[in-house]
Structures are given as structure tokens and as C-alpha cells.
Amino acid sequence: MSQIHQAKRPLFKKYFEDPLVGLVVGAICGLLWLLPLPVARKMGYGIGRIIYPFARRRNKIALKNMSVGLPDKTDAEKREIVKKMWCHFGMLFAESAHGSEILKQSRRENMELVRAAQKTGKGGFICTAHFGGWEFDVAKLVGPDFHLNPVYRKANNPWLNKILFERRPGVKIPKGTAGARLMLETLNKGDFIAILCDQKLREGMEVPFFGKPAMTATAMISLAMKKQAPIFMVKGVRGKDNIYTFSVVKQLEIPKGLDYQETLKAAMTDVNNIYWDWIKQNPEQYLWIHRRFEKSFYEE
């Protein structure tokens, strides 16, 4: 979000609501950090259970998305998934205060693929979705000399932005034109970029998501083609024991023999299909509450 947009926030939000929300969230984060991990996790689970019945608008969006993404599920099954989703992300919020401990406990698979690519000096992308343990700094699982630079959207509330985003390691790359330049600079240095491509954008191109056209960012594919940089699809899945398994699922293959626009669409279709695979296996670990499709779809 641009500084111009942020400057237009209502005075009540800017001077009262924003700092109040920031102080409350900051206090909760501090408490979670002080608590032992199992207790913090239970607290996060409870927060998710409390949020669920009050988040009616977001729940409605989630159920609408599931009508496309999980068409074989009954209404009761979908509502249960939404409830479990809130509990999962409540726990994830709590666990983020114990990131180092979570990563020490975690299982990891195929990280050597990224380590080998790092040695080429071309940089690359770690691509994931708002799924599972996406909040954790998986760079630490690759190696002590491996760093990730996250692409992110600034929170509307600048207090939350400082608490939740600015504390993260690496160069923070904002979405938009300025971010595209920073991504190019990062690749030129031989560094890696962490990116999530599962949310709707005004720009980009229409690419099937759950088989339904959705506006999708293509900058990752474009830059990877330009710099011959690898793209690794990485997921972190919570197990029944609350231990995460972080996996390099595959290195994305960019199609050859197509024109530029067809290549972008084919590669991003592959990305979206990989996401769908993950989500169908663990639907309660996906953040269903964003409007992924056109606004009219949610008004039907």
C-alpha cells in the first residue's frame, strides 16, 4: 500500500483505532513469547475458536471459495474446515513467537536442492502460499548462510506493520512497481526471494485457480525467465503432533516452445495446480478468507 493511500486513512483510525489495535496485538505477542510453546499454542487455538463465530463475513468468503476449491465437500464439512482453519492460524500466530523452537523441532525434506542452486549465484525464488507454516523463516532450514527476502503487502495499520512485518529478516520487498525493481536487484546479487502467489491482484493475468479464472501475478515467472533463476515450490505442513514438515516439493519447470504470454500463463497454471494439490490434502491449513476471484462472484 502506498504512503499516499495510508495518509488518507480516517483520523479516528489513524490516531485512535490503529495504535489501540497495535498495542493490544503487541501485548498479546509479548505474552505469547513469555509463555512456554505448548501453552502459547493452546492459547492460539483458543483465540481461533473465539474468532470463528464472530468472523461471519470472512467465513462467508471462505465457504464461497470452497464451493469452487472443494466442490465434493458437504456444507457441514466445509463449515468444519473453516472452524479448523481459524484454530490452525490461531496456533500459527502463537507459534510465530517461538519460531526458532518450531524450526528446531521440524522435519525437512529436499533442502539440498536449494543449497545446490544457491551455489550457482543466480539467486532464485522460494514460492509458497498462505498455507501451513508459511510464516516461518525456512531460510534457517536451508543453511546458516542462506537468506530470504520476503515480498509482502504492507498492513493498512502501520502499527501492525511494525509488529508483524518490519521485524522479519532480509530486505522487505513491497508489492508493486518498486517491489519489482527490488526483486531484480535481489536476483542480481545472487540472493533468494520468498513469495506467495495465491492472492488476487488488480494487475497480472487471468490464470485458473481451482479451475476458475483469477487475476494472478506473473512477475516471478517473468523475472525467473529473464535471469534464468530457479523457482522452488516449498510447503510447510502441520502434523497431528503439531510438528511441521517443510518440503521442497519441486523445482518449477518453465515451459519451452510457447510465446511469452502463453509461457507466463502455463507456468502460473502449474503453480496454482500445485497449490490446489496441497490444499486438497490439508484444506484446514489454507487461508480461505481472501477474495480470490472477481467481486461479483461473492455477491451471487
Q: What is the pLDDT of residue 199?
A: 86
Using DSSP's 3-state secondary structure scheme, residue 65 falls into helix
Q: Could you give the number of structural domains in the chain?
A: 1
What gap in Å lies between CA 193 and CA 158, rounded to an integer?
23
Is the confidence at residue 167, as pLDDT, over 80? no
Q: What is the pLDDT of residue 16?
A: 84
Q: What is the pLDDT of residue 6?
A: 43
Q: Is residue 193 part of a domain?
A: yes
DSSP 202: S
Angle made by CA atoms 270, 275, 279, in degrees to the nearest 5 = 150
Contact in structure between 27 and 82 (CB atoms under 8 Å): no
Angle made by CA atoms 102, 107, 110, in degrees to the nearest 5 = 130
Name the nearest CA neighbour of 123 among 232, 282, 34, 272.
232
Q: Is residue 206 part of a domain?
A: yes
Is the confidence at residue 117, as pLDDT, over 70? yes
Percentage of the chain modeled with pLDDT above 90: 73
Strand partners, 215: 206
What gap in Å lies between CA 280 and CA 260, rounded to an integer?
30
What gap in Å lies between CA 173 and CA 180, rounded to an integer?
8
Angle made by CA atoms 112, 117, 120, in degrees to the nearest 5 = 140
The one-letter amino acid at 81? I
pLDDT category at 170 given cuts 50, 70, 90 is low
Q: What is the pLDDT of residue 185?
A: 92
Q: Is residue 71 part of a domain?
A: no
φ/ψ (deg, to 5) at 216: -135, 135
DSSP 131: B
The one-letter amino acid at 167? R
Query: What are the angstrom distances between the C-alpha of 37 and each of 81, 89, 143, 151, 157?
Result: 24, 15, 24, 28, 28
Q: Is residue 154 part of a domain?
A: yes
Q: Is residue 194 part of a domain?
A: yes
Q: Is residue 239 part of a domain?
A: yes
pTM for this structure?
0.90
What gap in Å lies between CA 237 and CA 245, rounded to an integer?
5
Q: Is residue 69 part of a domain?
A: no
Is the confidence at residue 3, as pLDDT, over 60? no
Q: Is residue 3 part of a domain?
A: no
Is the confidence at residue 2, as pLDDT, over 60? no
Name the nearest CA neighbour of 283 among 82, 59, 55.
82
Q: What is the pLDDT of residue 206?
A: 94
CB atoms within 10 A of CB 116: 10
Q: What is the pLDDT of residue 171?
A: 59
- The whole domain housing 139 covers 106-284
